[in-house]
Amino acid sequence: ACAISPKAIVSDACASYSTLERLNRNVKPALDELTQTTDFFSHYRVNLFHKKCPFWNDENGMCGNIACAVETLDNEEDIPPVWRAKELGKLEGPRAQHPGKAVQKQEPVRPLKGKLGEGVGESCVVEYDDECDDRDYCVPEDESATSKGDYVSLLRNPERFTGYAGDGAKQVWDAVYRENCFQRSSFPHYAALGKDTSARGPAAMDFKAVLDAAGRQHVLEQTREHNPLTPFVANTGLEAEDECLEKRVFYRVMSGMHASISTHLCWDFLNQTTGQWQPNLGCYKARLHQFPDRISNLYFNYALLSRAIAKLGPYLTAEQGYTFCTGDPAQDAETREKVLAVTTKAASVPQIFDESLMFKNGEGPSLKEDFRNRFRNVSRLMDCVGCDKCRLWGKLQTAGYGTALKVLFEFDNNDHPEVPILKRTELVALFNTYARLSSSMSAIQKFRAMEEEEENKG
């Protein structure tokens, strides 16, 4: 009886900020343990370097013209090496190569109804090639590459300030929010683009056309964001418009992800005077505190992921046959125990998010298809991010939200009773995205306390 409907604002009685913060205090230690101490969840396999931005030509630099790219490079040379954006954004530590076919696992057998893991075994570090099925909210990682990806230690490459900013970053964020225009034609969807990279020409043209239209929409959203009447725990204000629920949820997921990235870069910020990594209260105030709707969307995402993780828990038990670390029963048992500690705690607040209200109206099925395609486009946009570390976390988090949506909308689905397979990359992305939100929430609480202290002093 006490669910956050996707319609609801986070301040609704049942799921206040404090309810979610209490849940987070309970879940966070187990989540940190899982993502920081297991091989399975502290590494990610991702194709970071072999895919080009499919929507615009990034060969001339992210801002789209040569002069801009050259200027950026010139400026960089003037900056001491450790402070260069490039240096800050680069990946650290050894990256294992993609294993050859010989050591790859067999494709898992598609499980029977009601089971995620029948016959599914996963190695701790080696994985079979990705393939998406039509119920995925991600894009296939192998769509254009001959080399299938690199293994990255997430612990050695924390999400934090990198200095990536300017036109390149703005172009990506603008494009992400443009995907929210459900009624307008936007980028050609993945299926229309095909796998041939020569399809980029028309995509780039479409992008320009959409830019104009969506530029106006973006300004509109900005205006609403700045509305001083927006209460502290407000919704985006979008419901005042004639807008469907699904579109609002899409916007909130994107905005909440953006808010979480902003929180991490403000929390783990490089003080360029002292060379110390430390929280930057000014950064928090400028990007988050002034925009309560962004914080609300971050909490909304936390509720959404908590629900997905809780729903997934029963599919990951030993009885269901999912194996985390094939060939090492002890490590498998230990990893599972840590996973179940998280899923059980996430389930401790009943019905935290009610996904059953979505895709229910007359347009339901076609909206879902549209929603999924737009989500896939956002995941492809991550290849346009011009900073390795940001691209890594951008890809991981879009994959994490995609997996959460798959669990929410494709499991227990009467139209498709077969439970979809979740691959290792999806599980790792899901739990690490949850961990990102969890640490964002705890950073925001600390920022709030710092801000209050400053207010009291002043």
258 lies in the site for ligand FAD, by CB under 6 A: yes
Helix (H) or strand (E) holding 152: strand 150-153
222 lies in the site for ligand FAD, by CB under 6 A: yes
Neighbours of 71 (CB within 10 A): 13
Q: Of the two residues 200 and 380, which places its CB atom closer to ligand FAD in the complex?
A: 380
Q: Of the two residues 258 and 336, which places its CB atom closer to ligand FAD in the complex?
A: 258
Residue 53 among the catalytic residues: no
Return the residues of window 333-352 that contact ligand FAD according to CB under 6 A: none
DSSP-derived secondary structure for 379-391 = HHHGGG-SSHHHH
Record the tokens describing residue 141, joined without a space.
Answer: 């990682």
d(CA 93, CA 157): 8
390 lies in the site for ligand FAD, by CB under 6 A: yes
d(CA 160, CA 268): 5
Q: Where are the beta strands (DSSP E) in 169-318?
A: 269-270, 277-278
Smallest gap from Cβ 261 to ligand FAD, in A, equals: 5
439 lies in the site for ligand FAD, by CB under 6 A: no
31 lies in the site for ligand FAD, by CB under 6 A: no
* Encoded amino acid at 128, one letter: Y
Residue 390 among the catalytic residues: yes
Smallest gap from Cβ 43 to ligand FAD, in A, equals: 18
Helix (H) or strand (E) holding 89: helix 85-89
228, 220, 260: which is closest to 393 by C-alpha?
A: 260
Record the tokens describing residue 202, joined without a space.
Answer: 């028309």
Applying CB under 6 A, what is the total number of residues that bind ligand FAD?
A: 23
55 lies in the site for ligand FAD, by CB under 6 A: no
159 lies in the site for ligand FAD, by CB under 6 A: yes
444 lies in the site for ligand FAD, by CB under 6 A: no
* Encoded amino acid at 39, one letter: D
393 lies in the site for ligand FAD, by CB under 6 A: yes
- In sequence order, what are the residues at sequence separation of 6 or more whose Cβ sits closer than 8 angstroms to the Cβ of residue 123? 105, 325, 326, 327
d(CA 2, CA 15): 8
- In sequence order, what are the residues at sequence separation of 6 or more whose Cβ sits closer than 8 angstroms to the Cβ of residue 433? 305, 396, 397, 399, 400, 401, 403, 404
Q: Is-contact 58 386, C-beta < 8 A?
A: yes
180 lies in the site for ligand FAD, by CB under 6 A: no
162 lies in the site for ligand FAD, by CB under 6 A: yes
Return the residues of window 261-320 that contact ligand FAD according to CB under 6 A: 261-262, 265, 294
Q: Of the two residues 205 and 220, which places its CB atom closer to ligand FAD in the complex?
A: 220
Smallest gap from Cβ 392 to ligand FAD, in A, equals: 8
170 lies in the site for ligand FAD, by CB under 6 A: yes
82 lies in the site for ligand FAD, by CB under 6 A: no
Catalytic residue ranges: 387, 390
Site residues (vs ligand FAD, CB under 6 A): 159, 161-162, 164-165, 169-170, 172-173, 222, 255, 258-259, 261-262, 265, 294, 382, 385, 389-390, 393-394
